[in-house]
Amino acid sequence: MKTRNQLQVLALTGLMGLAACTTSLTINTGAEPAKSATADDAVHWGYEGAGGPQNWAALADANYLCAAGIMQSPIDLSEANALGKVAIKHNYAPVQASIEDNGHTIQANFAAGLGVKIDARKFKLLQVHFHTPSEHVMAGSTYPIGAHFVHATDAGELLVLGILFTEGEANPQLATILDAVIAGDTSAQHTLDPTKMIPSDLSLYRYMGSLTTPPCSEGVNWHVVKTPVSASTAQIAKFTKIMGGNARPVQPLNGRLLLQPK
C-alpha cells in the first residue's frame, strides 16, 4: 500500500500542471516553469495572455491533451443525457488543514482520515481549491465560486466533488480560509469542517472528465453537486480579488455519458 505522501505525489502529478512536484498537494511556485516548444523564454501557464488556456497545449509536450483530449473538463451540465441516482457517502468532519494562495488558486490541504465512498470504492480527501467564477456551468451561466474537493484512491485514481456557490449568507469556513490567506502564514494549521462547505442534499451530476489545469489528464471521476451553497457578496469579492479569473472555458461533451440526478 502506498503511503499518504506517495499518494499525494500521484495526485499532484498533473493536478496543477507543474514539472516539479513536492510531497504535498501544494503547488510549488518556485518550480521551473514549463518551457514553450517554440520559444526560448519560458511561459508559465495561467488564464490569460500567452499562458492562457488557448495556449496550454503549446507550452509543454505533456500538455497535449489540453488540445487533443476528447474527455475534457469543465462542461455545461445542462447537456445531461441520462437520469440516475448516485449514492455517495462521506466521513467528513472537522480536521486540521494548511491553507495557501499558491498562485493559481486558494487551496486547503487536509490532514489524513477523511474521504468518500462511491460504487464500493474509497477515495481519500486530499485538498479543496477554488475557482472564480465556477468552471462548470449551467446552460452557459456560471456561479460566482466553484470548489473542487480532490480525492484519490491508493492507486492514484482521482475523484473530484464539485460544489457550486451562490450569493447569499456568509460561509464561516470560507471566512477561515480567507483570513488564513490574507494572514499569509502557510505553516499554520487551521480547523476546517468540509461538511460546512457542502449541501445536505448530495444529488450529483456525474461524468468522466479531466483535470481542468495542465496537463489536462483524463480519467478523472467528476461528481458535481446539483444544490449550491452560499457565500456572501464580500466573500465572493475577496476570492475574486485574490485569484482573479481562474476558470478554464467549457469543453465539448463529445458524446460522453453525463448523468443528471433524478
Q: Which of 104, 129, 148, 223 is catalytic?
A: 104
Task: Please compute, for residue 159, the number of CA atoms within 13 A of its CA located in the half-sphere on the CB side.
Answer: 22
104 catalytic residue (yes or no):
yes
Q: Are 90 and 116 in contact (CB under 8 A)?
A: yes
Grid coordinates in use for 116? 468518500
Return the SS3 of 108: strand
DSSP structural state of residue 47: S
Residues β-bridged to residue 74: none
Torsions phi, psi for 79 (to 5 deg): -90, 15
Computed on alpha carbons and rounded to an integer, the radius of gyration of the chain in Å comes to 17
Of 19, 21, 26, nearest to 9 by C-alpha is 21
Q: Can you tell me whether residue 79 is helix, strand or coil? A: helix
Alpha-helical (H) ranges within the chain are 4-12, 56-59, 65-68, 172-183, 233-243
Q: Which residues are catalytic?
A: 104
